[in-house]
């Protein structure tokens, strides 16, 4: 079945997903050009939007109608209240998120007229998510059927969460982003599905002296040797993998096969947070019994919808909105 038809018949309400990790307030200003060191440039109005990979993923899950339990830390500042209220209004269960006495995670982003950006990440409370916190939320972790992880939280905490969840029988999904190099063996051993974009995939499998493949241009993904990529990923320890390819769609690698899923053509306004909405849709799909491939097909629609609006979470639709948009032919 195609993604649109799958979504038309899909009910995510029985799914239960736990998302462990980061929440950030994104401060963005648009400028003519990016300032050089020591320089002041004049920018447009400041926008403050909810972000952070895990928080985006949780919002995406909840908007589709599945249960989304967020685990992580917010600060005691106003951004903590702002992020909590935004996630609550998306439908995320925030009852296990605790406050750390200091600032919440934030990013300061400058975007120039060409769409080039500079980003400063201030981890804030996210940096204080530790194994002791993971142990304190063990029972909440064990309640879900799927766990979503990314690497915006300390590695020891992410690893501990994967261990506990895997032992409790959850399907553990790791978004290896932002890419950080070598992953702990105990983390890899407890991950059931890896989700990466094309750049992260390449960083993960590249060997010393390899020539960088071309990751753009018409049909670029067809020129990659996906059997070789799958075999290298297996060598790293990942047998089930989804590689997202931006507007070129995604590849689903499992059981020795590589299936391409087309992106859905839309008039893209801002692709920020598309990867996180894709991940959220996959988490919700897996939690409601869909196969990896079907989950990726539905995620292609959900993430294409997210490209039609500005911001990350701010552009995520609920299931009805996504269905209605494509029922009218999109665009």
Ligand X SMILES: Nc1ncnc2c1ncn2[C@@H]1O[C@H](COP(=O)(O)OP(=O)(O)O)[C@@H](O)[C@H]1O
How big is the chain, counted in residues?
A: 331
CB of 119 to ligand X, least distance (A): 13
CB of 263 to ligand X, least distance (A): 4
Residue 263 contact, options Mg ion, ligand X, none, Cβ 5-8 Å cut-off depending on partner type:
ligand X
Residue 123 touching ligand X (CB under 6 A): no
Residue 17 contact, options Mg ion, ligand X, none, Cβ 5-8 Å cut-off depending on partner type:
none
- Asked whether residue 249 is marked as a ligand-binding residue, the answer is yes
Choice between 287 and 302, CB closer to Mg ion: 302
The one catalytic residue in 77, 93, 192, 276 is 276
- Asked whether residue 315 is marked as a ligand-binding residue, the answer is yes
Q: What burial class does residue 44 get, using C-beta atoms within 10 Å of its C-beta: 0-12 exposed, 13-18 middle, 19+ buried?
A: exposed
Residue 288 touching Mg ion (CB under 5 A): no
Crossing angle for the helix pair 274-287 and 53-64, to the nearest 10 degrees: 50
Specify the stretch interacting with ligand X by CB under 6 A; choose among 23-31, 123-131, 201-209, 302-310.
Answer: 302-310
Tokens of 305: 């919808």
Give the list of residues 6+ apart from residue 70 with CB closer than 8 angstroms, or none. Answer: 19, 23, 54, 55, 58, 87, 92, 93, 94, 96, 97
The closest residue (CB) to ligand X is 275
The strand pairing partners of 196, in sequence order, are 243
Choice between 170 and 263, CB closer to ligand X: 263
CB of 156 to ligand X, least distance (A): 24
Q: Is 294 a catalytic residue?
A: no
d(CA 88, CA 263): 30
Under 8 Å between Cβ of 204 and 179: yes
Residue 246 touching Mg ion (CB under 5 A): yes
Which residues ranging from 142 to 201 are in contact with Mg ion (CB under 5 A)? 197
Residue 100 contact, options ligand X, Mg ion, none, Cβ 5-8 Å cut-off depending on partner type:
none
Strands (E) located in the chain? 16-20, 24-30, 47-51, 67-71, 73-75, 98-100, 105-111, 117-122, 146-150, 171-175, 193-197, 241-244, 250-254, 257-261
Residue 273 touching Mg ion (CB under 5 A): no
Residue 249 touching Mg ion (CB under 5 A): no
Tokens of 198: 């094309």
Please give the positions annotated as active site. 276
Per CB under 6 A, residues contacting ligand X are 197, 244-247, 249-250, 263-264, 266, 268, 271, 274-275, 278, 300, 303-304, 307
């Amino acid at each position: 079945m195609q993604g649109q038809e799958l979504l038309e018949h899909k009910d995510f309400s029985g799914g239960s997903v736990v998302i462990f990790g980061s929440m950030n307030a994104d401060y963005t200003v648009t400028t003519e050009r990016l300032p050089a060191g020591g320089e002041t440039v004049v920018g447009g109005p400041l926008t403050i939007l909810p972000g952070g990979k895990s928080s985006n993923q949780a919002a995406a899950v909840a908007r589709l109608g599945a249960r989304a339990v967020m685990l992580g830390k917010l600060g005691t500042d106003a951004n903590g209240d702002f992020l909590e209220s935004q996630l609550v209004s998306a439908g995320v269960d925030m009852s296990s998120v605790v406050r750390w006495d200091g600032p919440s995670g934030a990013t300061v982003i400058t975007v120039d007229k060409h769409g080039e950006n500079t980003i400063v990440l201030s981890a804030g409370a996210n940096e204080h998510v530790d194994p002791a916190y993971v142990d304190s939320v063990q029972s909440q972790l064990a309640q879900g059927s799927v766990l979503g992880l990314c690497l915006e939280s300390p590695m020891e905490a992410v690893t501990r969460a994967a261990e506990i969840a895997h032992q409790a029988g959850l399907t553990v999904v790791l978004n290896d982003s932002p890419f950080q190099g070598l992953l702990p063996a105990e983390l890899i051993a407890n991950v059931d599905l890896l989700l990466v974009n094309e750049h992260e995939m390449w960083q993960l499998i590249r060997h010393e002296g390899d020539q960088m493949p071309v990751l753009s241009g018409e049909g670029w993904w067809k020129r990659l040797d996906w059997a070789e990529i799958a075999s290298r990923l297996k060598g790293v320890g990942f047998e089930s993998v989804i590689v997202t390819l931006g507007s070129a769609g995604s590849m689903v690698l499992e059981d020795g096969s590589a299936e391409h899923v087309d992106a859905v053509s839309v008039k893209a306004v801002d692709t920020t947070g598309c990867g996180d909405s894709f991940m959220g849709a996959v988490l919700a799909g897996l939690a409601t019994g869909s196969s990896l491939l079907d989950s990726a097909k539905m995620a292609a629609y959900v993430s294409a919808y997210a490209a039609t609006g500005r911001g990350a979470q701010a552009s995520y639709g609920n299931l009805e909105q996504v269905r209605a948009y494509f029922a009218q032919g999109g665009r």
